[in-house]
Amino acid sequence: MNLRALMYFDELVRTSSMRAAAENLNVAPTAVSRQIENLEEYFGTPLVERSSRGVTLTAAGELLAERAGKTLRELGHVHQLIDDLKGLERGRATIYANGATVASLLAPALSQFSQTYPKLRFDVHITSARQAIDALVTAQADIAITLFAPETSEVKILAKREICYDVILPAEHPLAGKPSISLKEIANMPLALPEKTFAARQAFDALFAQAGVTLDPVFTASSLELLKELVLDRAAVTLLPALAVAREIKSGQMVAIPLSSTKGVRTHMELCVAPDRDLSFAAATLAGFIETFMGNLPK
């Protein structure tokens, strides 16, 4: 079995089409078909079933597909480590992060870091905490930055810090000068919150339910930016970490007010890597930089 055959098979799995895989690989469809046949000969069993509607995997094909992508990513990682041995201070780091960590941590950290290492390249994916952890485990990510991450022994936490969710209001809001705001007061305001698949939203639901307060948000969204825009447009208030809107607070557009008579919603921002995989120069240097950056964030 050669590496090219595995690469062609991985692309076929992603596209479910010989023609589409061939176009992405810039080869003829017959070249893809030939490499798949080589793999089937090597394993002694069919890996795909062809039809007019495309390509589907056999049980053996599914088994190979589960491992082929990770194997190829690990080989790419080894290639980067070999470049590091040659003293090539270049490369690429892949980061998976929760949306609420982007404005407060990831964007400013990457901005500063890239000025020191202009030859490095970065792939950033904004996902849920669970997806970020899965990406580390399957070697799709070098680094994960998460909020509300599930507890697992499959990752190594390099750094963490506690994050508290506050009430985020437009600066001109009548309650903007209060030292704290109660859950009942929030319930009477037009509220914008993440959708129910978000761990933060689940924590909000539990908090309001425990206090016997009905939670009925006017806006439910999967986008942090939309929540912020609704506050800026004075259409709603929201619940976010103050760090996530630090720029808007500094510019006088928003204020962050603590919740009263409750511990509120607290979680940890965590910087994670895979425990069993050596980081490349790019990823290791970036992870160290972000770890220091997290330690210097305002409390």
Whether residue 255 is found in the same domain as residue 277:
no
- Residue 7 within a domain: yes
Q: Which residue has the tokens 């978000």?
A: 198
User: 118-167 pLDDT, tens per residue?
Assistant: 888 899 998 888 889 988 888 889 999 998 888 888 899 999 988 899 99
The radius of gyration computed from the CA coordinates of the chain, to the nearest angstrom, equals 24
141 contacts 94 by C-beta, under 8 angstroms = yes
What band does 4 get if pLDDT is binned at 50, 70 and 90?
Answer: confident
Q: Give buried/exposed letters for 153-164 (b at 16+ CB in 10 A, else e).
A: eebeeebeeebb
Last residue of a domain, one of 18, 49, 72: 72
DSSP characters for the chain? --HHHHHHHHHHHHHS-HHHHHHHHTS-HHHHHHHHHHHHHHHTS--EEEETTEEEE-HHHHHHHHHHHHHHHHHHHHHHHHHHHTT---EEEEEEE-GGGIIIIIHHHHHHHHHH-TTEEEEEEE--HHHHHHHHHTTS-SEEEESSPPP-SSSEEEEEEEEEEEEEEETTSTTTT-S-B-HHHHHTS-EEEE-TTSHHHHHHHHHHHHTT-----SEEES-HHHHHHHHHTTS-EEEEEGGGGHHHHHTTSEEEEPBSSS---EEEEEEEE-TTSPPPHHHHHHHHHHHHHHHTS--
Render pLDDT for 33-58 as a digit per residue (tens, 0 to 9).
888 888 888 888 888 887 777 788 88
| CB neighbours of residue 107 within 10 Å | 14
Assess contact for 149 and 201: CB atoms under 8 A: no
Give the sign of the dihedral formed by CA 110, CA 111, CA 117, CA 123.
positive
Alpha carbon separation from 21 to 13, 75, 282 (Å, rounded): 9, 20, 30
Residues 133 and 281 in one domain: yes
Task: Specify if 79 maps to a domain.
Answer: no
Residue 78 falls within a domain, yes or no? no
- My answer on whether 276 and 132 are in the same domain is yes
* Angstrom distance (rounded) from CA 256 to CA 238: 10
**Claim to verify: residue 99 and residue 138 sit in the same structural domain:** yes
Looking at the structure, do residues 169 and 256 belong to the same domain, yes or no? yes
Please indicate, yes or no, whether residues 152 and 173 belong to a single structural domain of this protein: no
Considering the domain architecture, whether residues 146 and 288 belong to the same structural domain is answered as yes
| CATH number of the domain encompassing residue 204 | 3.40.190.290
Same domain, 48 and 123: no
Which of 46, 72, 98 is at the close of a domain? 72
* Average pLDDT value over all residues in the chain: 86
Please, is 209 exposed, middle or buried when counting C-beta atoms within 10 Å of its C-beta (0-12, 13-18, 19+)?
Answer: exposed
- Kindly state whether residues 143 and 283 are assigned to the same domain: yes
Reported as a single tens digit per residue, the pLDDT across 55-84 is 888 888 888 887 777 776 666 666 666 665
Cβ atoms 132, 144 nearer than 8 A? yes
Same domain membership, residue 272 and residue 155: yes
pTM: 0.66
pLDDT tens for residues 230-281? 999 999 999 999 988 988 999 999 999 999 877 788 888 999 998 877 788 7
Q: Does residue 239 fall inside a structural domain? A: yes
Question: Is 204 a domain residue?
Answer: yes
Domain end call among 16, 45, 72: 72
The answer to whether position 278 is within a domain reads yes
- Whether residue 291 sits in one domain with residue 245: no
User: Rounded to an integer, what is the distance from CA 110 to the centroid of its chain?
Assistant: 15
Q: Is residue 120 one of the residues assigned to a domain?
A: yes
C-alpha 60/C-alpha 67 separation (Å) is 11
The residue segments making up the domain with residue 285 are: 84-159+268-295
Among 127, 153, 142, smallest CA distance to 285 is for 142
State the total domains in the chain.
3
Does residue 221 lie within any of the structural domains? yes
- What is the domain-level CATH number for residue 41? 1.10.10.10
CA distances from 45 to 58, 87, 179 (A): 9, 44, 69
Confidence of residue 291 (pLDDT cuts 50, 70, 90): very high
Clarify whether residues 186 and 237 are in a common domain. yes
